[in-house]
Amino acid sequence: MTDAKLVCRNLWKVFGPNADRALAGGAVTPEALAARGLVPAVRDVSLSVAEGEIFVIMGLSGSGKSTLVRCLSRLIEPTAGEILFHGKDLLKESEAGMIRLRRHKMGMVFQNFALLPHLTVAQNVAFPLEVQGMARAEREARAARMVELVGLSGREGFYPRQLSGGQQQRVGIARSLAADPELWFLDEPFSALDPLIRREMQDEFLRLQGQLKKTIVFITHDFDEALRLADRIAIMKDGAVVQAGTPEEIVLHPATDYVREFTRGVARAKVVRVGSVMEAAEGPAPEGALSPRARLADAAPLFLSGAEALPVAEGGRLIGWLRRGAVVDLMLGG
């Protein structure tokens, strides 16, 4: 992938004594590692994340997904492999260099909001900028922009205890965006929220990404959430990636029985994007045109008015037409 911002190659994280020696000696199967008292949490993972992409890593509890994302940011030290950020191997970076990268180039949001209870919303958002040494007026101005961006204007002076769970998570997102990171790690950021608020936060996340075009690694155990948010998905099992691809590829062409079980019962129309089915076209964008990222399940009801084709636009320009027949064929086939 020529435009990859983040690449990992043959990445391992094995817990236990002398794990690096065991790998160097050829002990790479779970059985061989277990015989040495070692536990492989991440096994020989290779993946690439493109500029501006939402790359979702998913799997059941214990699959290794959270360990992997912490290895990618070196919050946990990998046992072996390479992690390339802009082509530079992060495993060769000094600890001081990694701290600088995390402060200035990487943003992180975790399931635990980890807001500072004695600071207001604005102060929480500005806190990482203060750590960076940014002047007070500049950091307060930037924090105000981030608070507005996540829809919390008017609550700048509130304390975390005065906010709902969804609002607290918005503060966490604003704080992580304050440093304008190039690479954004989100580890199950919405899993502690109730279903309605979770859906709202997914909508908010997609809205923000539409504006900011960040390069994102997003961890979830929820397949519906992965399908809704991802440009591409990697599915993990027992520390290894068993399939990586677009949501369409994974649902329509599962590589293993494990992936097939994950995708069983998923309606194709919930997965396939308009841009994958449309007929290409050019011209000015008509009002009310579909986004190429929209799912067919969301577009299908629009045909109830009797239309035979719907316009698809991006960047203010017509890029295609979605035909009724193409939607019907796919839905009947799924």
> In this structure, are 199 and 325 located in the same domain?
no
Q: Does 75 fall in a domain?
A: no
Residue span of the structural domain in which 199 resides: 50-66+94-264
- Residue pLDDT, tens place only, 37-81: 999 999 999 999 999 999 999 998 899 999 999 999 999 999 999
Question: Final residue of a domain: which of 264, 294, 315?
Answer: 264
Domain count within the chain: 2
The pLDDT of residue 333 is 63
Q: Where are the beta strands (DSSP E) in the chain?
A: 4-15, 39-50, 54-58, 80-85, 88-89, 106-110, 183-187, 215-220, 232-237, 240-245, 279-284, 309-314, 317-323
The pLDDT of residue 96 is 94
Q: Does 35 fall in a domain?
A: no
The type of residue at 230 is: A
- Residue pLDDT, tens place only, 208-258: 898 899 999 999 998 889 988 999 999 999 999 999 999 989 988 899 999
Question: Final residue of a domain: which of 230, 264, 298?
Answer: 264
> In this structure, are 173 and 239 located in the same domain?
yes
> In this structure, are 171 and 310 located in the same domain?
no
> In this structure, are 285 and 236 located in the same domain?
no
> In this structure, are 309 and 171 located in the same domain?
no
> In this structure, are 156 and 305 located in the same domain?
no
Express as a percent the part of the chain with pLDDT over 90. Answer: 65
β-bridge pairing 309-314 and 317-323: antiparallel
Residue 120: phi, psi to the nearest 5?
-75, 175
Quick check: 177 and 209 in contact, CB under 8 A?
no
Residue 319: phi, psi to the nearest 5?
-120, -10
Task: Give me the residues of the chain with pLDDT under 70, please.
Answer: 1-2, 333-334
> In this structure, are 244 and 327 located in the same domain?
no
The pLDDT of residue 1 is 45
> In this structure, are 233 and 321 located in the same domain?
no
